[in-house]
Amino acid sequence: MQIEIQESVDKNIMHFYPEGGLKIAGSSEYSDAKSIRKSPLAEALFDLGGIRSVMMTPDCISVTKVENISWDVLKPQILAEIMDFLASGAEVVLDGKNADDDELLKKIEGLLSARIRPAIQKDGGDIKLKHFEDGIAYVELQGKCVGCPYAQRTLKDGVEKLLKTYIPEVKAVEKYEE
């Protein structure tokens, strides 16, 4: 298995692109004991020591290290851990969904469809719920909303305010980025 490595502008972040990608939906960030339990791969990387956070997307694993650890030491360990883990065929992210999660997603989708989508479509755009994690609804604006100077304001003053008012589990709304 090949893994392409790309350094970041931030000297404490490095990106790892496994050949064939990861079999996950959306993106997830792991930075504390509670969150890493959702991903055996993130847990394995944290076990190496010196890791501050791990961000996973379907095509990339971004690792942020602590300041005083050298990439010369950490990079080969991370590569070996990723290769061994992916070769094992184990689930990268555990499916922690349950009936409550499904019900919450239905509530968010219902509110988007009933109260928000019609107004956005009227202006030539659309909105799509990409995923919900840790109280944050990640949405994607589409159509004329992409690149609109008022898009962030629409998200915060419109979408976020409405969702937080009717669904207490929603703590914030953020723009989904791949």
Task: Give the pLDDT confidence of 44-75 residue by residue, as tens digits.
Answer: 999 999 999 999 988 999 999 999 999 999 99
The answer to whether residue 68 sits within a structural domain is yes
Give 131-163 pLDDT, tens digit per residue: 888 899 999 988 888 888 888 888 999 999 999
The answer to whether residue 93 sits within a structural domain is no
Give the number of domains in the chain.
2
The answer to whether residue 62 sits within a structural domain is yes
- Residues sharing a CB contact under 8 Å with residue 123, sequence separation 6 or more, in sequence order: 144, 145
Q: Tokens in use for 79?
A: 């590569």
Q: Of the residues 88, 114, 141, which one is the last residue of a structural domain?
A: 88
User: 165 and 108, same structural domain?
Assistant: yes
The answer to whether residue 8 sits within a structural domain is yes
pTM of the model: 0.55
Range of the domain at 61: 3-88
| Residues 144, 125: Cα–Cα separation, whole Å | 5
| Residues 140, 49: Cα–Cα separation, whole Å | 35
Percent of the chain whose pLDDT exceeds 70: 95
| Residues 153, 145: Cα–Cα separation, whole Å | 11
Domain CATH for 152 = 3.30.300.130
User: 118 and 64, same structural domain?
Assistant: no
The answer to whether residue 64 sits within a structural domain is yes
